[in-house]
Structure 1
Amino acid sequence: MLVVPRAERPFAKGPYLAMLVAVVATEPWRPATYFEGSFDGVVIAKALLSVVAAITAWYLVSKRPRLGVPAWPTLLVALYLSITVFGGWAEGVLLSSLIIAVRVLILVGIVNLLLSGYDGYSVMAGLVGALVTVAVVSALTGGLRASDGRLAGGIPPLHPNEIAAISAMGILWLLYRAVNGRENAVDLVMLAVAGTALVASGSRTSLVMVLPAAAILVFTARRFHLRVLIPFVLSLPVIAFTVFFSDAITGALTREGSSEDIGSLSNRTIAWQSALMPKSSAWLTWAGGGLTLKRIEVPGQWWSHQILDSSWVSALVQGGYLGVATCLVLILYGLYRVARVPGELRGFRLALILFLALRGVLESGLFDASTAFLTCFTALALPDVSRARHPVLAPLPDRHPVPSFVWQPPHSPIPGENVRSIKKRLLVAGNLLALGLVVAGLVNFFAPRSYQSSAALYATAAGTQLRATDIYQGTMMVSARMATYVELATSPVVLNGVIEELRLDEGPNSLAERVHATNPGGTTVLVVTATDSDPARAQLIAATVASRFNQAVTGLESGAEAAPQVNFRAVEPAQAPTEPKAPDRLRNLAIGGGIGAGLGLIVLLWPLVRIASSPDGQLRLILLGPMADRLDASAVRIVGEVESAPQPAVLSHRPAALTTGAER
């Protein structure tokens, strides 16, 4: 059956405006700060913005025809919030838990209001556009951090993981548009930018979790366009080389660190084990401690509290067994409802919900007043209406099936016309490649230099060990403590002494961003790395941190008369670096050249699938002259059966009734 192409719906500015205000009010305005019940100017300003977003959504839909919105997501979210508020009341933090619950309900109300007046595509497009806008502003006002080279935000101060999550959601949205024939040249450029931002953020969680989500999006697509299929096929060798024959994936996952760090999940499991321990009361076990509970006590460590870096563990701590069960029902039932109804956004909704649910295993905020919750709830709350039955999205019925596809040349080729056209496109592609390399060169020239110096310490058990069992037990004891030593090396206990000795004009938190410690997998070696704009100062900081760390271990582990149980010896002293660590010139040139080459390839291949409408009402497929002469009916059918914006093949005996539908 012929599928009539449908013109792209115009971008709805109303949902974008309301979602933009909601996203700005939801994103953090201060880094590493959590609401615990106290009020200040920032808290009040964000609350007022949330109210403004809700009023804006109400005003936008007040004079529009109302559409039905499913109630089950709102009911499940309200049930979860009621459980957390009850748990907060039992733990004596009722007011702060209630305030956060109200903020979540405001987000729910904004989504429901917009969906009652706009179609789901417009609302989701507005949300993705708002998220990308805030992320772009934050990244442009921020930049790469000197300590680890990760892309972080400035205004607002988005964490690299948050930028990565928004970039991944943008990639999924652009892939959805591409596989459904909605993409344009701007979308392809944005896809390259979003992929670059995802890699530059250094977030391993989003980088890994976006892959199965993208696979779901591709597998649920009913058909592909040639202008999407051709670049994808051409990129397969590059993807295969990157995965199987280079260290790019390993470097991105380890952040040039150790596999031990991945195995321990950056000590997240320490907080998870504490969350799974028996609680002090039945109320805390079944109803949790309220939404304000963002940290948990971690016994047996030198630090007393740790942040819950998992949405699912947070749901267990904040809502107890009842709360985490409600969240599980919300996600699983949502995936079931989305999968069973063939709606227009089914593939994207499945991919987005899956990405956020998997990301929530290692990141917080999925069931809190956050952009992750706002996005997930929007995907869940979209009406389960098939596109064929939707009053806005329904295509015209195919009353007159077309029997065949026949190629008709749009015009007689002029001698040399195709050659000149190819030369022009080659010139444009070459200029794009050169432009990408020039931009990368400018970035290399103007970007601030940062140098890194490292010192390695070898840990051994103290005392004389003559028996093999003693040596083995000592080695196991040291290995078990290495994760603690990694955290201790960048703690204020060590860094305050470094600041005092070197007379640095900064605090321990600022210095901690430029100093990090790693433990290579399977060893008892601690590597301390310092980053600074001056190579000599980087060496001095690394050496001083190693010395102060040894003193801190001796002071913490030795009692009044006892000796320390672990000794650290320097096996690799800090050296003054000769080459800057950042910017990575080769990587920047490769990224710039790759983006330029990709844009040039798009310019070269774009005419292969360009579509036009002739004055006689027939839709024609315009190809390069030499290729058009060898085009057969099956090739035209591949392009003609897609359901994208104006991209039809030539249809012989085409009824006039279909012309209006295709041009609409």
Structure 2
Amino acid sequence: MSEPGLKRAAIPFVIWLLVVISLVRWRQGSIYSGGADPVVVIKALIQCFALLVAVVVLIFSRGRQPLGGRSLGLLLLIVAGSVIGAYAQGNLEPSAVVAMRVVLLAATVIIVLLSFSARLAVKPLLAAMAVVGAFSAITGLGLMLSGGRLGGGIPPLSPNDIASLCGLPALGLLHEMAHGRASSRHVAVFVGLSALVLATGSRTAIFALMAAMVVVLLQVRRPPITVAAMVLIAAPAVFAIIAYTPTLDNMVNRGDSASLVTLNSRTISWEAVLEIPFNTWERWLGSGLSVKQIAVLGQYWDEQVFDSSWISALAQAGLVGAALLALWVARTSWDSLRTPQLGTFTNGALLFILLRSVTENGLVDASVDFVVFFTLSVLLEKASARPSLSAGYEPPGPTDHLAKAP
């Protein structure tokens, strides 16, 4: 990317960096249940400041990128249903706060996409994720050396969070490499981010990333010699590791085969959500977006976190919200499959996000996963009118005059 391109990319990077910082965990083991403490207030202010910066950029932009309204409409229906359900369950205050955060995030995404091309919107988002994820992982290396999986230091992210933040940027770098636009520096960063994902031991993220990488590579007709050589070297090495070492078994079972059968107790909360009676508001409209866990019986603990975006959708927005989310995901996936100019990346990215959504929360929440999914979904609605993510030449954008300002 040329120097003017780098200057233009710095603007959305700052916005996305603020957004990511406002969404990642600043403390472990806490679930928002209402009220305001210093951490909640500061994160909200950062998110609002990111929105303000995006609005200022849009005001000074000379043009607008084409956008559709389907994704926003489906999101608002899901959020509105969850708020009604929260009111019926007496959980309105905390759920309304989370719902407002989700709406503000959607507004930020839309404003950024109105101001910048697909490439200038997506690449800085992935870069911001990589910066936060890698910094947290590097500052948490000391904890991993004492044994266990790689967790975060500053901020104290979980291994799954780090895998999510580093996985998609690694996939984006592979996409650049596969299309001949990567330097040796990009290759080194790709290797480093991939190593961080492996160090987290996050099973779903690792397998999802591998599947997404295969999808990205299969769509390349004439891969560069460097990428072809890497694949030829990696394929037999991976086969040897899987076939002749206990690495795969250790990763899957983590020393305890029972944890695989119960998916680390996830199915306990899943069963509790699925058993909610059909003749209740809770079944049809849920209990609100702030609901992250459910009471369970017959265990040594009283409550269990959902750990699945789909089970969360059922609990938070009911059958109506889950059906709307399924429709949203299906239509976005279809748009990606029939849009080759964006699909070379979005097919793999959506696969990574959706595979992880089965065992991890965040698809419709105040989360980085939601920001990425919503960004890709909105982009794919009007993809035919936008420049390709794979385009080698970046046309002048609507904010070029901002980059020229002193």
1:115: Cα distance to partner? 0.7
1:384: Cα distance to partner? 4.5
Amino acid at match of 1:322: V
- Partner residue, 1:605: none
1:52: Cα distance to partner? 0.1
1:140: Cα distance to partner? 2.3
- Partner residue, 2:182: 183
1:349: Cα distance to partner? 1.0
Amino acid at match of 2:215: I
> Is this contact kept in 2: 1:274–1:298, CA < 8 A?
yes
Amino acid at match of 2:192: V
1:295: Cα distance to partner? 1.1
- Partner residue, 2:32: 35
- Partner residue, 1:66: 64
- Partner residue, 1:153: 152
- Partner residue, 2:228: 229
> Is this contact kept in 2: 1:30–1:157, CA < 8 A?
yes
Amino acid at match of 1:163: I
Q: Aligned pair in 2 of structure 1 residues 386, 33: CA closer, same or farther (>3 Å)?
A: closer
> Is this contact kept in 1: 2:22–2:44, CA < 8 A?
yes
Q: Aligned pair in 2 of structure 1 residues 251, 91: CA closer, same or farther (>3 Å)?
A: same
Q: Which runs of structure 2 are paired with 1:108-507 in the superposition (5 Å)?
A: 108-143=106-141, 144-145=143-144, 148-255=147-254, 257-279=255-277, 282-343=280-341, 345-384=342-381, 390=386
Structure with the largest fraction of strand: 1
The count of residues paired between Structure 1 and Structure 2 equals 389
> Is this contact kept in 2: 1:287–1:321, CA < 8 A?
yes
What do residues 463-486 of structure 1 show as CA deviations (whole Å, max 9, x unaligned)?
xxxxxxxxxxxxxxxxxxxxxxxx
Amino acid at match of 2:362: G
1:379: Cα distance to partner? 1.3
Q: Distance in 1 between matches of 2:33 and 2:243?
A: 47
SS in 1 for 2:268: helix
Q: TM-score, normalised by structure 1?
A: 0.56
Q: Distance in 2 between matches of 1:267 and 1:231?
A: 38
Amino acid at match of 1:284: E
Amino acid at match of 1:262: L
> Is this contact kept in 1: 2:294–2:304, CA < 8 A?
yes
Rg comparison, structure with higher value: 1
Identify the structure with bigger relative contact order (alpha carbons < 8 Å, sequence gap 6+): 2
- Partner residue, 2:102: 104
Amino acid at match of 2:189: M
Q: Aligned pair in 2 of structure 1 residues 79, 132: CA closer, same or farther (>3 Å)?
A: same
1:175: Cα distance to partner? 1.1
> Is this contact kept in 2: 1:120–1:383, CA < 8 A?
no
Q: Distance in 2 between matches of 1:242 and 1:146?
A: 23
What do residues 183-232 of structure 1 show as CA deviations (whole Å, max 9, x unaligned)?
11111101111111011111111011222222221222233112221222
Out of 60-69 and 19-28, give the one that drifted further. 60-69
Q: Distance in 2 between matches of 1:386 and 1:316?
A: 30
> Is this contact kept in 1: 2:339–2:380, CA < 8 A?
no
What do residues 361-414 of structure 1 show as CA deviations (whole Å, max 9, x unaligned)?
111122110011111111111155567x64x6699xxxxxxxxxxxxxxxxxxx
1:123: Cα distance to partner? 0.8
What do residues 147-174 of structure 1 show as CA deviations (whole Å, max 9, x unaligned)?
7521111211111111011222122111
> Is this contact kept in 2: 1:70–1:381, CA < 8 A?
yes
> Is this contact kept in 1: 2:82–2:286, CA < 8 A?
yes
Unpaired runs of 5+ in structure 2? 394-406
Q: Aligned pair in 2 of structure 1 residues 386, 305: CA closer, same or farther (>3 Å)?
A: closer
Q: Distance in 2 between matches of 1:139 and 1:240?
A: 28
Q: TM-score, normalised by structure 2?
A: 0.91
Amino acid at match of 1:79: L
Q: Aligned pair in 2 of structure 1 residues 281, 35: CA closer, same or farther (>3 Å)?
A: farther
Q: Distance in 2 between matches of 1:8 and 1:333?
A: 37
SS in 2 for 1:151: coil
SS in 2 for 1:306: strand
What do residues 258-282 of structure 1 show as CA deviations (whole Å, max 9, x unaligned)?
2222122111111111111133852
Q: Distance in 1 between matches of 2:32 and 2:110?
A: 26
- Partner residue, 2:5: 10
Q: Distance in 1 between matches of 2:24 and 2:389?
A: 36
What do residues 402-453 of structure 1 show as CA deviations (whole Å, max 9, x unaligned)?
xxxxxxxxxxxxxxxxxxxxxxxxxxxxxxxxxxxxxxxxxxxxxxxxxxxx
SS in 2 for 1:35: coil
Amino acid at match of 2:337: A
Q: Distance in 2 between matches of 1:393 and 1:348?
A: 10
What do residues 217-253 of structure 1 show as CA deviations (whole Å, max 9, x unaligned)?
1222233112221222233321221222222222222
What do residues 584-616 of structure 1 show as CA deviations (whole Å, max 9, x unaligned)?
xxxxxxxxxxxxxxxxxxxxxxxxxxxxxxxxx
SS in 2 for 1:194: helix
SS in 2 for 1:199: helix
What do residues 61-120 of structure 1 show as CA deviations (whole Å, max 9, x unaligned)?
222211111211111111110011111010111121111011001111111111101001
Q: Aligned pair in 2 of structure 1 residues 309, 147: CA closer, same or farther (>3 Å)?
A: farther
SS in 1 for 2:264: helix
- Partner residue, 1:50: 47
Q: Aligned pair in 2 of structure 1 residues 364, 393: CA closer, same or farther (>3 Å)?
A: closer
Q: Aligned pair in 2 of structure 1 residues 323, 30: CA closer, same or farther (>3 Å)?
A: same
Q: Distance in 1 between matches of 2:3 and 2:218?
A: 23
Q: Distance in 2 between matches of 1:290 and 1:394?
A: 36
> Is this contact kept in 1: 2:278–2:284, CA < 8 A?
no
Q: Distance in 1 between matches of 2:147 and 2:257?
A: 17
SS in 1 for 2:294: strand
SS in 2 for 1:382: helix
> Is this contact kept in 2: 1:338–1:384, CA < 8 A?
no
Q: Distance in 1 between matches of 2:389 and 2:207?
A: 36
> Is this contact kept in 2: 1:199–1:252, CA < 8 A?
no
- Partner residue, 1:590: none
Amino acid at match of 1:124: V
SS in 2 for 1:265: coil
> Is this contact kept in 2: 1:296–1:305, CA < 8 A?
yes
Q: Distance in 2 between matches of 1:43 and 1:82?
A: 23
SS in 2 for 1:362: coil
> Is this contact kept in 1: 2:83–2:92, CA < 8 A?
yes
Amino acid at match of 1:266: N
Q: Distance in 2 between matches of 1:305 and 1:148?
A: 28
Q: Distance in 2 between matches of 1:227 and 1:280?
A: 56
- Superposed CA RMSD: 2.2
> Is this contact kept in 2: 1:76–1:326, CA < 8 A?
yes
> Is this contact kept in 2: 1:91–1:289, CA < 8 A?
yes
SS in 2 for 1:296: strand
Q: Aligned pair in 2 of structure 1 residues 235, 9: CA closer, same or farther (>3 Å)?
A: farther
Q: Distance in 1 between matches of 2:344 and 2:17?
A: 24
Q: Aligned pair in 2 of structure 1 residues 207, 393: CA closer, same or farther (>3 Å)?
A: closer
